[in-house]
Amino acid sequence: MRGVGRFRTAFVSTGHVVLKCHPGMGEPVTGEALVADDDFSARYDLDRLAGVFSRPEHRLYGENYVDRVLVVNTAKGGVATAWMLHEMMSRGMVPAALLLNRVNPILAQGAAMAGMAMCDRFTDGDVTRLIRTGERVMVSPSDGRVTVYREHER
């Protein structure tokens, strides 16, 4: 399992929540969540060299997405993301995993090409409301399970 963590403050764990979803793709991964009730396209929204959201209208504008578990609503826009995830993975400038309410074919194809972890179709509701930015999550795609570690600042 890949593990990534980017915690800037000390945390104490107070439990966890397990979210069920459709079986996804990719290997299990753990990382810090970056969440927005917004949609996603690698072409439209990202400065892929800098690893940040570059589209001013996006709710994650200016945020660094590298190695974080990106949680957004759905995919938008064109087909470029299918190649771009592969290219981003080759440089290590890629989210640790993608969690969406509903994936479109392009994101699924891109994740399959890049070997990225990706899940969608959560049974408990809107995933952008079920996970908060900064929470640590463990994504288990083949099991269709995402574990959210609920933590509070010390």
Partner 1 sequence: MLRGSHGPARQWAMEHMIRVGKFFDAPDFVPVTQAHIMADTESLGEAGVAFLERFAALPEAQRQVLVPMITDPRGTDFDRCGELGQTQEMVSLERRASDALEALGILMTNTCINYQTISPPTPGEHLAFGDTGVVIYCNSVLGARSNFEGGPSALAAGLTGRVPRYGCHLDQHRQASHWFQVLFEPKDLAEWGALGAMIGGRTGSYWAVPVIEGPDMVPGSDALKHLGAAMASFGSTPLFHLAGVTPEAPALDAVCNPAMLEPITLGEDDLAAFFRRYAGQGGPVDVVVFSAPQLSLFEMQEIAALLDGQQVHRDTALLVVTSPAVYADAKRFGIVERLENAGAMVLKGMCFYQSYARELGQANGWRRLMTNSAKLANIIGGYGYRPVLAPMARCVASAVSGRLS
Residues in contact with partner 1 by CB under 8 A are 22-25, 39, 43-47, 54-58, 73-84, 86-87, 89-91, 102-106, 108-110, 112-113
Q: Which residues, 6+ apart, have CB-to-CB distance to 33 below 8 Å?
A: 68, 69, 71, 131, 132, 133, 134, 135, 136, 137, 148
Closest CB to partner 1 among residues 84, 135: 84
CA distances from 83 to 44, 59, 86, 89, 101 (A): 14, 24, 5, 10, 22
In the complex, least distance from residue 12 CB atom to partner 1, rounded to whole angstroms:
37
Residue type (1 letter), 79: V
Phi, psi angles (nearest 5°) of residue 85: -60, -40
In the complex, least distance from residue 23 CB atom to partner 1, rounded to whole angstroms:
8
Q: Are 80 and 58 in contact (CB under 8 A)?
A: no
In the complex, least distance from residue 127 CB atom to partner 1, rounded to whole angstroms:
14
In the complex, least distance from residue 100 CB atom to partner 1, rounded to whole angstroms:
11
Closest CB to partner 1 among residues 31, 141: 141
Closest CB to partner 1 among residues 82, 138: 82
Closest CB to partner 1 among residues 3, 78: 78
